[in-house]
Amino acid sequence: MQHNMMGNIIITEPSSNLRALGRNALLGKWKIAIIAAVIYMLCVEVPPVILNSLFGINIGDLYVSSSGAYVGVDTYNSIYNSLPTYSPLSGIYMLLVTGPLSLGITLFFLAMFRKQTVVVSDIFLGFERFGKSVGLMIFQSVFIFLWSLLFIVPGIIAAIRYSQAYFILADNPEKGIRECMNESKMMMQGNKSKYFCLSLSFIGWMILASIPDSMVVAVADTLGVTGVPYMLISIIGGLFMAPVTAYTYSTMAGFYEILAGHLIKETEPAPVAPEAVPVPAQTAEEDNVYDKETDTGDAEAEEVKETADKKEAPATEKIDVKDVVGSDQPSDEKRDE
């Protein structure tokens, strides 16, 4: 059920119903959806690992070189192995690629939810709107980071507040970055808790999908695999999360469709404006009958009016002139006398 409050749709459907929308959209399309999710995850996660391994600097080296303190070999090795290796190139890659890929995966699942034809290459459509997608990612990251400085909870709220920005940009490519963020903020008023609960409802599936990943990583640890091979094995194990990723994106596409007013429950149809009842055309005979009835009615009305006038008028008697003047003038007989 959803209702409208101050021009904003508030979703009150349980999370199970919203997930059912996502599953229905994936019927017969699980294969292509999982492949798209796998390619998306590989494009986002693998290149940064390779760049960091080839051109990265260990955070421990930066600490030792900047502090100038003497560190023993054993201590250095423990620090080096526990801290990640980072390269500015991986940061640049994430800056230039994450936004377009996020927009592309949004376009893919939004089209799938709307029963449109999709192909795996649709996840790269975001690069056609490169400037806006990158700008939107930067704005989102900055706002979320600033709110996170206060505490972790404001950061989470900010992330939820702007969660619909990519859907809005995918649906309205002509809109600007700030406009998409402001509309997302307005859409999520009264819906943040529902979005949070909906996201939490996928935890069970995430835990289930993480079991194979944990097993792969455990085998790699047992074999003593380290470095880049270990990172790649971890990423491969993480691909078991692809079905959950597809499931989540499909459900969130349905969530957006409800917020945008594109999806209305059949049990709650929109009110229909009353229409004028058409008057059937009358034939010539019906017109004549109508005219006769009208004339007859007018004549009867006139008769009734005349009768009423007669009743209302005071009764008058005919007065003979003789009666008026006879008493004052002498008669002819008296005149002769």
In the chain, the number of structural domains is 1
Mean pLDDT confidence for 121-131: 95
Judge whether residue 111 has pLDDT over 60.
yes
Please report, rounded to a whole number, the percentage of residues in the chain having pLDDT higher than 70: 67
Task: Look at residue 143 in the predicted model and tell me its pLDDT.
Answer: 93
Residue 135 falls inside a structural domain: yes
Bin 242: left if φ > 0, else alpha if -120 < ψ < 50, else beta.
alpha
What does the mean pLDDT of the chain come to? 78
* Residue 1 CB-density burial (10 A; 0-12 exposed, 13-18 middle, 19+ buried): exposed
The answer to whether residues 157 and 147 touch, using CB atoms and an 8 Å cutoff, is yes
Torsional sign, CA 183, 184, 187, 188: negative
d(CA 261, CA 239): 34
Residue 40 falls inside a structural domain: yes
Higher pLDDT, 327 or 124: 124
Mean pLDDT confidence for 227-238: 77
Judge whether residue 141 has pLDDT over 90.
yes
SS (H, E, C) the chain: CEEEECCEEEECCCHHHHHHHHHHHHCCCHHHHHHHHHHHHHHHHHHHHHHHHHHCEEHHHHHHHHHCCCCCHHHHHHHHHHCCEECHHHHHHHHHHHHHHHHHHHHHHHHHHCCCCCCHHHHHHHHHHHHHHHHHHHHHHHHHHHHHHHCHHHHHHHHHHCCCHHHHHHHCCCCCHHHHHHHHHHHCCCCHHHHHHHHHCCHHHHHHHHHHHHHHHHHHHHHCCCHHHHHHHHHHHHHHHHHHHHHHHHHHHHHHHHHCCCCCCCCCCCCCCCCCCCCCCCCHHHHHHHHHHHHHHHHHHHHHHHHHHHHHCCCCCCCCHHHHHCCCCCCHHHHHC
Residue 270 falls inside a structural domain: no
Mean pLDDT confidence for 155-178: 95
Containing structural domain, residue 188: 13-259
Q: In this predicted model, what pLDDT tens digit does every residue of 283-335 receive, in sequence order?
A: 555 555 445 545 555 555 555 455 555 554 444 444 343 443 344 444 444 44
Task: Look at residue 39 in the predicted model and tell me its pLDDT.
Answer: 95
CB environment 185-220: b (16+ within 10 A), e (fewer):
eebbeebeebbeebbebbeeeeeebbeebeebbeeb
Task: Look at residue 94 in the predicted model and tell me its pLDDT.
Answer: 92
Judge whether residue 272 has pLDDT over 90.
no
Task: Look at residue 321 in the predicted model and tell me its pLDDT.
Answer: 38
Residue 19 falls inside a structural domain: yes
Residue 304 falls inside a structural domain: no
Residue 44 falls inside a structural domain: yes
Mean pLDDT confidence for 146-162: 92
Question: CA separation (Å) from 54 to 1, 57, 89, 308?
Answer: 53, 9, 10, 114
Residue 298 falls inside a structural domain: no
